[in-house]
Structure 1
C-alpha cells in the first residue's frame, strides 16, 4: 500500500489540510501545532481497534459536529 496524499477535514485542530506524501516524510513543528493529531489520524486509518471506538465530540474541529458526512 502506498499513500500519495493525505486529506484531513474537521478533525481535532485541522479544519482542512492536504499533504502530499512521498517515500520518506518528516513531521516537525512547534509544540501544540498538531503533530500528534496528524499521526493519530493516520493511526485511525490503519488501526482497526482505534476505529472500533469511533469518534467523540472532542475529535471534531472546534467540537463542530454539524459538518458530519452521513
Structure 2
C-alpha cells in the first residue's frame, strides 16, 4: 500500500458521495473517474495517488481537462 493513499472512514465516505449502499458508493466514485479500493465492511476506502493529487488541486484525472463543470467534493 502506498504512503500517498488517502483513507476515508465509512462516515466520511457517506458525506463524500452522499450514498449509503456499497453499489451506490461505487457508482458515485466511478462517475467521478476516481479509482478506489473498498473493503468488504465498507470501513475504509483507499484512494490512489492520482486521486490525492486531484483532490489537492495538483492535477486532474486522466482523460479529463480542468475546463467544464466543477466537481463538488
Q: Please give the TM-score of this superposition, normalised by the length of structure 2.
A: 0.29
- Structure with bigger helix share is 1
TM-score using structure 1 length? 0.29
Please identify the structure whose Cα radius of gyration is greater: 1
